[in-house]
Each structure stands twice: as C-alpha cells, then as structure tokens.
Structure 1
Amino acid sequence: MSAILTLDSVEADIAGSRILRGVTLEVRPGEVVALMGRNGVGKTTTLRTICGVIPNRTGSITYEGKRIDKLATDVRARSGIAHVPQGRDIFPHLTVGENLQAGLTVKKRTRGAAREALERVYALFPVLSEMTKRKGGVLSGGQQQQLAIGRALLTDPKLLILDEPTEGIQPSIIDHIGDTLKMLKKEGTLAMLLVEQYVDFCRETSDRFYAMDRGTVAASGSIEELTDELVKEHLEV
C-alpha cells in the first residue's frame, strides 16, 4: 500500500538553529510507526513540522500524494491530520464533554453521525462517558491523555500523530491506550505516527520504527528489527 505521509530530506530550524537535518520517513494506512530516539534529537520537531507549526526549510512533506509544505496548520488538520501533542493540550477550563465537542467541530457531519462518532470514543475510553461534566483540568494525567486521543479521533483523521502518549501515566492506562491503538490498527485505514521512548510499548503496538539521532534518521526497519543493540546505541541515555 502506498504511503499516506512521506517526508523526503526535510530540514527545519528553530530560532536560527538547525534541528532537522534531512529527515526521510513514510507512514502507510493501517500501520503504527514509532519515531524513537533520545531527548533533543528532533522527534517532536518532526511532528510539529508535519503539522505546519514549524516550517520546513528544505525537503518535501507529501500527504495523500500532494505536497503540503506550504499549507497552513488548520488546512492540514481539516485534511485529516490529527496531532495529540506532548502535554495533551486539552482545554482545562472546559468540561470533558465540551472538549470532545471541540473535536467534532473540525468536520461537518449530521447530528446522527456526530452522535455515532461520540459513542465510538466512549466505547474506546469508557472513563470519559462517566465524567462528561468534569473540568478537563482536574482529570488525572491518564484521563487527560484518553481525552486528548478521543478528541483527536472525533476529527475523523486519516493520520493520527501521538507525541509521548505514555509519559507520566500509570501502567494500567498505558496498557489500555496500547490496546486501543492495536484496535484502531485492526480497522486497517488509520495511519499512526508515534513518538515514544518506552521501548516495550513500541514493540507491542508498532509495525515499523525510525530511530533519530542529531536531527536525522539513523536506523529504521520493521519493529522486529529493533534489536537490543540498536536500543542501546540510539535510545538509552
């Protein structure tokens, strides 16, 4: 199956400093791709460049066969790219229900379709249905992460980008998020790009990996090829 997202020799700067130095990768529909590496090697910058928050200096970003380098962030989002950033970025003063409604506004749909989409999110994350009136800011880290992923899914994405989804979350919720990603993968249409340093989580959920070092891809392959030697070389501190 052809890639839904392709980065070809992408370079990007932040405040005049070169962060990405020729990043090349691809993500296909129906697979989870892990983007791995130590802190500061450019993983989050890669995600933000895909979404248009940071412009790429050179190289190309292709989505569904079309260049999106010059498109605004909101245009990329409406085209089907959903981003759950590190820190989740939920609206803390809005309720769980209001946060989810914000996700529904991205795409026009009938009332029945909106209700069906919301019920699907509640089925994936039952805890959210129990606290629709609770403010997002009082939720635990794991509950906020489930809310952030649920809100992203309500935009009806074709590409779901997750930045450190297991960070600061208790093991039981990590397991639930992993099971949810595997369930979404089984549906065979949604592509997922995952930045994650928890190696066991990547091995459990992902199909392929890219390991970054100093702003470029240093190793890649099927998740079965992520050996302990590669982990020690590119991931361990």
Structure 2
Amino acid sequence: MERSTDVITTATNPAPSEPAIAVPVVAVSRLETDIGGSRILRGVNLEVHAGEVVALMGRNGVGKTTTLRSITGVQPVRAGTISFCGQSILRMSADQRARAGIGYVPQGRDIFPHLTVEENLQVGLVVHARKGADARAALARVYDLFPILKDFLPRKGGVLSGGQQQQLAIARALLTNPKLLILDEPTEGIQPSIIDQIGDTLKKLKTPRAPSDVIDEAQQEVERIKQAVKHIKEEHSLAILLVEQYVDFCREVADRFYAMDRGVVTISGSIAELTDEVVRDHLQV
C-alpha cells in the first residue's frame, strides 16, 4: 500500500507548465500579390512581435512596399494569410485595419502640405476620436519624441524640411494609438551622404548647431528619427515594421531583418547576422 500511495502521489503532481508562446502582432504567410496582372509577391513570410523593430530590406523593385501595402489593405492580395494579433484581417478594409491598430507612414509621407503642423496632428486625433485628457497625453508623447513639432505648430506642413515632414508623419501615425507601426523609407528625402554617417558619428554631434549649417541640421533630423524609433520600441511596446535602404540605419534600430528579392524573402535573422557578406550578396545592386 505504501508503494501504491507513492505512485498515486507522484502521478497527481502537476507537470511543469511550458512557457506561453507570444502571438505576433502581425504574421504574414505565403503571401502572393499581383499588380496589373504581374506577380509581385511570390510567397512572402514574415512576422513582427510587440516591442521589436523588424527591417524589411532589399533592392529597388523587389516587393517591399507591396508587402506593406498588402498588410495595410491598400493592395488586394491574391493568396496567403495576414494575421493581426492572432486574427485574420484579409476580409478587413484598409480603414478597418487602421482602426484596429495598424499605423502606416507611406513612402512620401502623405502629410497635408497646406495644413499647419497642428492641423495635421489634429487629423490623427479626430479620425480616431481621441479627446480631452487622452488627446493631451498623446500630444505630449509626440512632442517629447519630436520637440521641433511643438515649436512649428503654426507652420504649414509643406514648408518643413524632409526630415521634419517625416517626424510629423510619424507623430500623426502615433496619435492613432497603433499596435503596429509601419514605416516605408523614413529617411527618404534626407541627404544620402548624411544618412551614411548615422551611428557613432551622429552621437558625437555638437549642439547647439549653427542655423546655417545644413549638414548638421540633416544629421540631427536623422538622429531624431532614429532615436524616436528606439524610444517607441522601448517605451510603448509597439511592433515596428520598417522598410529602409540604408544598412547603417537598420543596424542602429532594428532587432531582426528580412531581405527580399524578386518577391520572396531570401534570408532573415537577427540584426547581428546582417553581416557585410549578407549585404553584398542580398542587398547591393
């Protein structure tokens, strides 16, 4: 009987529970998309979790922007699945996906050039019905990320520099309170020679800078965007999907990367695995 009791006691001890597997904020599987009768995406697979930045990289014309547009619902898909927080969104329209928590800053930014900075920001609040204390807190957050916007509230969006317009576009997207923030070429329109200097050089920039020093100003704009992406990831637990041409920028802000070619992902891994050899073989023209 003693032996039998021992067996029963052992058998009734609960088994150690396995750690829960986090559901990706967005998961794309075997995605196929056609444009004008031509197959652009040929089975794309990727996922992004909360609190991480994922860089989607590749040469021009390989399908990066089409992937983003497919996720946001701007571009219809031919086949495959797109899940958002564990639920399929294939039947949802673009505006329904935006209200569900997908924030999109497209290539070219799409700010309203004839509206002031303040009016551009108000659009993000009004569309998502954010009012009162909630709206004030949201604005305070974006002013903390992009202090220059608070100084430029009366200015028309169209007179801002490329870097300032990008900050405005990201800020407006954040005001929609997204779970997933999608950025398409956030450094576009800022001098390529400046972007190449991101990293340690940017950290050593002197302040204050001379107003006439255009190079310093462009460097500061890129640095502000880079630091904002890092801060958003760390403080707001957002998932960020980033399309970016500049390798140094991706190495600075991303946790993982996917490289595309001819409509498929050819290689992926941690950002530490984005070696010069990988860049040469998969990203350089």
TM-score bracket for this pair, using the shorter chain length: over 0.9
Distance in 1, Cα, partners of 2:188 & 2:266: 24
Q: Secondary structure at the match of 1:105?
A: helix
Q: Is residue 2:243 matched to residue 1:222?
A: no
Distance in 1, Cα, partners of 2:260 & 2:34: 16
Unaligned runs of at least 5 residues, structure 1:
none
| Partner amino acid, structure 2, of 1:145 | Q
- 1:92-134 deviation per Cα after TM superposition (whole angstroms, max 9, x unaligned): 1111000000011232334111011111111110110011111
Distance in 1, Cα, partners of 2:232 & 2:121: 19
Q: Is residue 2:232 matched to residue 1:181?
A: no
**1:23 pairs with one of 44, 53, 58:** 44
The TM-score, its normalising length taken from structure 1, stands at 0.98
The corresponding residue for 1:172 is 220
Q: Is residue 2:16 matched to residue 1:11?
A: no
Q: Output aligned runs, 1:153-164, within 5 Å.
A: 153-164=174-185
**1:200 pairs with one of 240, 243, 248:** 248
Q: By how many angstroms is 1:37 displaced?
A: 0.2
| Partner amino acid, structure 1, of 2:262 | R
Q: Is residue 2:151 matched to residue 1:130?
A: yes
Q: Is residue 2:153 matched to residue 1:105?
A: no
Given that 1:104 and 1:154 are in contact with CA atoms closer than 8 Å, whether structure 2 keeps it comes out as: yes
Moved more, 178-187 or 17-26: 178-187
The corresponding residue for 2:140 is 119
Name the structure where strand makes up a greater proportion of residues: 1
Given that 2:23 and 2:86 are in contact with CA atoms closer than 8 Å, whether structure 1 keeps it comes out as: no
The corresponding residue for 1:83 is 104
| Partner amino acid, structure 2, of 1:171 | Q
Distance in 1, Cα, partners of 2:81 & 2:29: 5
Distance in 2, Cα, partners of 1:235 & 1:66: 32
The corresponding residue for 1:64 is 85
Q: By how many angstroms is 1:234 displaced?
A: 1.2
Unaligned runs of at least 5 residues, structure 2:
1-21, 191-217
Q: Secondary structure at the match of 1:56?
A: coil
Given that 1:162 and 1:193 are in contact with CA atoms closer than 8 Å, whether structure 2 keeps it comes out as: yes
**2:168 pairs with one of 140, 147, 160:** 147
| Partner amino acid, structure 1, of 2:62 | V
Percent identical among aligned pairs is: 65
The corresponding residue for 1:213 is 261
Distance in 1, Cα, partners of 2:47 & 2:241: 9
- 1:137-190 deviation per Cα after TM superposition (whole angstroms, max 9, x unaligned): 111101100000000000000000000001122222111111111111112520
| Partner amino acid, structure 2, of 1:141 | G
Name the structure where helix makes up a greater proportion of residues: 2
Higher gyration radius (CA): 2
Stretches of 4+ aligned residues off by more than 4 angstroms: none
The TM-score, its normalising length taken from structure 2, stands at 0.82
Q: Secondary structure at the match of 1:161?
A: strand
The corresponding residue for 2:198 is none
